[in-house]
Amino acid sequence: GQSLEQPSEVTAVEGAIVQINCTYQTSGFYGLSWYQQHDGGAPTFLSYNALDGLEETGRFSSFLSRSDSYGYLLLQELQMKDSASYFCAVGVDSSYKLIFGSGTRLLVRP
């Protein structure tokens, strides 16, 4: 089967840095993506990694190690508005379909 593992919940303080990990076991690998979802909202696309290394987009960075089947999302200078659920997702074949993890709920405290 296919599985993605990520922590169910993470708490951090405003202004701090937090890392959300994702490990995957899938039949194929066509990139790791991250999505953010606020309560009551739709998931929104944050980042995509096809190759090993770090991709930076403003306060958010995403890392991939294909040899370890592992990636993470790094959020810097946390703001209250970053409180949301974060999902990692893996493309498992060339069809563009994604398999999602069960999500990490991030709570940012003042």
Partner 1 sequence: DVKVTQSSRYLVKRTGEKVFLECVQDMDHENMFWYRQDPGLGLRLIYFSYDVKMKEKGDIPEGYSVSREKKERFSLILESASTNQTSMYLCASSPGPIYGYTFGSGTRLTVV
Question: In the bound complex, what is the minimum distance in angstroms from residue 44's beta carbon to partner 1?
Answer: 7
Helices (H) and strands (E) in the chain, counts: 0, 11
Stretch that binds partner 1, among 10-18, 39-47, 58-66, 73-81 (CB under 8 A): 39-47
Question: In the bound complex, what is the minimum distance in angstroms from residue 41's beta carbon to partner 1?
Answer: 7
Task: Enter the tokens of residue 30.
Answer: 């066509």
Amino acid present at 44: T
Considering the complex, state which of residue 95 and residue 110 has its C-beta at the smaller distance from partner 1.
95
Stretch that binds partner 1, among 17-25, 62-70, 73-81, 84-92 (CB under 8 A): 84-92
Residue 79 within binding range of partner 1, rule CB under 8 A: no
CA distance 34 to 98: 11
Give the three-class secondary structure for 82: helix
- The answer to whether 37 touches 17, Cβ cutoff 8 Å, is no
Burial of residue 26 (CB within 10 Å: 0-12, 13-18, 19+) is middle
Q: Please list every residue from 13 through 32 that binds partner 1, using CB under 8 A.
A: 30-31
Residue 35 within binding range of partner 1, rule CB under 8 A: yes
Q: Which residues bind partner 1 (CB under 8 A)?
A: 4, 8, 30-31, 33, 35, 41-46, 48, 50, 87, 89, 91, 95-103
